[in-house]
Structure 1
Amino acid sequence: MEHDGQLELYTAVANQLKEAHSRVRALQVPEGVRMALTRKLLVITAAAKHDLAGAARRLERFSEDLDEGRLPGADG
C-alpha cells in the first residue's frame, strides 16, 4: 500500500533527523556554525510536513556534507 510506504519514509526521515541533530550537537565547532547547521535541520523538518520525499533528499545531502566536512563558514 502507498500509505505503508509513506509511513516507512516518515519513520526513516524522523530517525535520520534525530541522528543528524545528535551529530550536530556533538561537533566541536564554533557556535555560529552549530546554529547554521541547526537552522538547516529545522528547514528540512518544516519541509517534511509538505514534501516528505524532498525533505528526505535534502537530509541525505545534509548528511553527506557533514560526512565530508562541508560546514557553513568553513574554508575551502
Structure 2
Amino acid sequence: MERDSQLHLYELVADRLKEAHARVRTLQVPEGVRMALSRKLLVVTAASKHDLVDAARRLDRLMKDLDEGRFPEGD
C-alpha cells in the first residue's frame, strides 16, 4: 500500500513540475529572473530523486511564490 501512495506522490510531483516549468517559460520577466526560477526547479527535480516529500514541499512553496508574484532576484 505504501508503494502505491509513493507512486501517486511521484506522479503528482512530476505533473506539478511540468506545470511549473511551463509557467516559468511563459512568464513575462527579465531573463535573469527566469534563469533563477529555472535553477529552483532543477533543485526541486534533483531533490525528488532523493526525498520526494521534501521535493513536494519545495515545489508547493515555489508554486505559491509564482501565484503571489514573488520572484527571485535575477543575476
After TM superposition, the score normalised by the length of structure 2 is 0.96
After TM superposition, the score normalised by the length of structure 1 is 0.95
Distance (whole Å) between structure 2 residues aligned to residue 53 and residue 60 of structure 1: 11
- Aligned residues: CA RMSD: 1.0
The one-letter code of the counterpart of 1:65 is D
Distance (whole Å) between structure 2 residues aligned to residue 30 and residue 11 of structure 1: 31
Q: Deviations over 1:3-56 (max 9, x none)?
A: 000000000000000000000000000000000000000000000000000000
**Structure 2 unmatched runs, 5+:** none
**Structure 1 unmatched runs, 5+:** none
C-alpha deviation, 1:59, in angstroms: 0.1
Bigger relative contact order (CA 8 A; separation at least 6): 2
Q: Number of aligned pairs?
A: 74
Q: How high is the sequence identity, in percent, across the aligned residues?
A: 72
